[in-house]
Amino acid sequence: MGRIPDFESQEMLQDLGFNPGKPDGDWGRLSEAAYQDWLSSKIKAVKSDEPPWLVEARRLLGTKEISGPTHNPRIMGWASNLGISYQSDETPWCGLFVAHCMSLVSDTQPTNPLGSRQWAKYGRRLDKPIPGSILVFWRGSPRGWKGHVGFYVSESAGHYHVLGGNQSNAVTITKVSKRRLLDIRWPESYPVQGEPVLTLRDGAVSINEA
């Protein structure tokens, strides 16, 4: 379901039995709640070995921030739905992307989910990554405060292939050096299942996700 134009999306939600309020093109709280209800129903219907938050992350591949005074309403909507104060999609949003996807499970999120390193406090620690596990990386310096967070998809000899937000200003899958890894996390409420995925993949390596 597209979100542009909003009027058509509202009508579609209404036809599907959800309540977006009066279809008027104004995407408010009722419309967003109806959209999230529809999205949850779709995710539950997906037959996949991947956890639901990774299914959602894949669905959002290609989402981009908008430079300048206009901001991507989808990204801003994630913050609004989570009650997070967020003013601009030019503010680093890798943590926001993870927070949105992980809202599909019941685990308590970090106090400051926008802080990528805060995700090292989430859920339980894993000894090895599996599809959907949360990878927390340092950025700049291992002892600094800057970082990056995203979801494990696969790996090659020296790199993790990470599905994350704010990677070249978009939701992408990119390669991140294994040497930058700080932690591997998984929600307490969801059973641990899966194995590391080894693959060969060419492409540029991300060194700065700001």
User: Which of 2, 84, 121, 99 lies closest to 53 in space, CA to CA?
Assistant: 99
Question: Is pLDDT of 199 > 70?
Answer: yes
Domains for the chain: give ranges and CATH numbers.
46-206 (3.90.1720)
Question: Is pLDDT of 137 > 80?
Answer: yes
CA separation, residue 108 to residues 2, 10, 119, 187 (Å): 30, 31, 11, 9
Quickly state the pLDDT bin for 5 (edges 50, 70, 90).
very low
Please state the φ and ψ torsions of residue 173, each to the nearest 5 degrees.
Answer: -110, 120
Structure tokens at 40: 């949850």
Quickly state the pLDDT bin for 149 (edges 50, 70, 90).
very high
Mean pLDDT, residues 165-179: 94
Mean pLDDT, residues 89-103: 91
- Per-residue pLDDT, 49: 82
- Per-residue pLDDT, 33: 85
Mean pLDDT, residues 50-63: 93
For the stretch 70-78, contacts whose Cβ atoms lie closer than 8 Å and that sit 24 or more positions apart, written own/partner, are 73/3, 73/27, 74/3, 75/165, 77/27, 77/32
Mean pLDDT, residues 167-186: 95
Look at 139 and 9; give whichever has higher pLDDT.
139
- Per-residue pLDDT, 21: 85
pLDDT digits (tens, 9 = 90+) for 27-45: 788 888 887 777 666 555 4
Distance CA 56, CA 43 (A): 7
End-to-end CA, the chain: 30
